[in-house]
Amino acid sequence: MARPGVSMQLIVYGGKQNKDLAGVLNEIGGIGYDAVETGGDLVDLDRAVVKDTFVQAGLALSGIHSGYGSIPDAAWQDKAIAFCKDMGSKYIICSGVAAGEGIQPYIDTGAVFNVFGRKCQDAGLTFCYHNHAWEFQPLDGGKGIHKLCEVTDPALVKLNMDVYWVTVGGEDPAAFIERYADRVGYYHFKDGPYTPTGSVAPGPYQFTELGTGTVDLEGALNAALKHDAQWIVYEQDRSELDPGEASRISFEFLKTLGL
């Protein structure tokens, strides 16, 4: 069984990466991560400069992550695909769905995702949807996350599964991985003091360094490793610690899990 790559989402740096990308990447590379995941805005920067910055830090790009608003934009699609191919990254990730109420936005979004997913596949890339907790809210017609999976082609639309938000949504991460074994492979590992209640709890949410919350990260990893996990990505929306220290603590925890 091949070891998945260990990456981290730059969100914990709170925007510092937009002012000092080289400094941030050098710090992360020094901790020992294999890669980072960035926002989709990176596609608008000078690609040669960005690529050299990654090389100097000894890091790969595990994926780029954008909101739904970018996905239907053909110009952004082309830039994102070209950027990922040049950077040697295979994953383009989306958070969010089309505007609207009820279950219909998930159905409408599914059609958009299938088209872009095909475009990514034709380019040798993988398109993923990143869940939060609100997609698990019961709606007339079922939960949004399951409807989205129902109306999209599993060969074209994969999942960037966030194990924290699955937990907040009231489902067990390991069971969710088994249910969507044909879509998983790219994971966000996030932690916090949360116990599943069976319904989506109101925010605000507290995010902690990996291993210091209550999410069953070990169980999620064991399930993920059964299904060809490609990337385990530490994500922490915010921290009370210095971002570098938070990143180090989380990396050391992932090492205790055998990564």
CB atoms within 10 A of CB 207: 21
Residue the block writes with tokens 């950027």: 83
| Local structure of 7: helix, strand or coil | strand
Question: Omega of the bond prior to 204 within 30 degrees of 0, cis?
Answer: yes
pLDDT digits (tens, 9 = 90+) for 38-79: 999 999 999 999 999 999 999 999 999 999 999 999 999 999
Block means of pLDDT (10 residues each) for the chain, 259 residues, are 92 96 98 97 93 98 98 97 97 98 97 98 98 94 96 98 94 97 98 73 83 96 96 97 98 98
Which pLDDT score, from 0 to 100, does residue 203 have? 67
Q: Is 116 helix (H, G, I), strand (E, B) or coil?
A: helix
- Residues spanned by the domain of 91: 5-256
With contact defined as beta carbons under 8 Å apart, do 250 and 211 qualify? yes
What pLDDT score does 205 carry? 86
Residue 32, CA atoms < 13 Å, CB-side half-sphere:
10
Per the structure, how many domains does the chain have? Answer: 1
Query: For position 57, which CATH number holds?
Result: 3.20.20.150
Amino acid at 112: V
Contact 120, 87 (CB under 8 A): no
**Phi-psi region for residue 185, left (φ > 0), alpha (ψ -120 to 50) or beta?**
left
Calpha distance 242→254 (Å, rounded): 19
- DSSP for 166-178, written as a single string: HHHTT--HHHHHH
